[in-house]
Structure 1
Amino acid sequence: MSDQEEEALKIIQSQRQGVLQSELWKILEIDSRKCSRIVKRLLDAGLIERVEFRSDGIKTYLLRAKKRAIDPCVILAGEEILPCIGCERECVPEECALLLDWMYHLAFEEFQE
């Protein structure tokens, strides 16, 4: 994936509601044709979805990142689930005792394999 494709994907992923294609090329500071090619590659890769959208009577497209299934191995250490899921604490991840303990279990599990 090219740097511009990665940048476009990050911009699209950062907006929960999506990004208008007519705005994306302005944000990326590229022309609309180049933006269309980038969007096509992201669509073909299955990373985004495109929905027809009318803005001030002009047809454009709303681009949204596709949600991908999470590999359960990423959130499990042994039988312990990542403590951040559902956590309501406002903490600094580097200082969170629950997260550090979970990471310790994960590292210990990998060491035993």
Structure 2
Amino acid sequence: MNDQEEAALSLIQSHRQGVRQSDLWKLLEIDSRKCSRIVKRLLDSGLIERIEFREEGIKTYLLRAKKRAIDPSVILAGTEILPCIGCDQECTPEECAMLLDWIYQLALEEYQE
């Protein structure tokens, strides 16, 4: 992925409701044809979705980032899942004993390998 594609994807991801394709090229400060090619590559790679959108009778497209599945190994330390997933406590991560224990377990696994 080139720099402009990364910038476009980042911009689309930063807008939860999506970005109109007619606005994207202006935000990226590129011409609309180049923007269309970038959007096509992002669509082909499955990173975004494009939804037809009408505004004041003019057809455009709303671009939204697709949610990607999380790699389970990211939230596992051995057989223990990241404690923050089901946690309902108000805490700061730097002071959370459960999180620190989980990180310690993760570091221990890395060291043993």
What does the per-residue CA deviation read over 1:3-51, in whole Å, with 9 as the maximum and x for residues that have no partner? 1100110111111111111111111111111110100010111111111
* Range with bigger deviation, 2-11 or 99-108: 99-108
Match of 2:27 in 1: 27
Match of 2:101 in 1: 101
Report the CA distance shift for 1:41/1:90 in structure 2 as closer, same or farther (over 3 A): farther
1:12 aligns to 2:12 (yes or no): yes
Report the CA distance shift for 1:38/1:104 in structure 2 as closer, same or farther (over 3 A): same
Q: Give the structure-2-normalised TM-score.
A: 0.87
Alignment of 1:1-113 (within 5 A): 1-88=1-88, 92-94=92-94, 96-113=96-113
Identity of aligned residues (%): 81
What does the per-residue CA deviation read over 1:61-111, in whole Å, with 9 as the maximum and x for residues that have no partner? 111111111111111111221123244556554554433332221111122
* Distance in 2, Cα, partners of 1:71 & 1:100: 21
- TM superposition shift of 1:53: 0.5
The number of residues matched between the two structures is: 113
Give 5+ residue unaligned stretches, structure 2. none
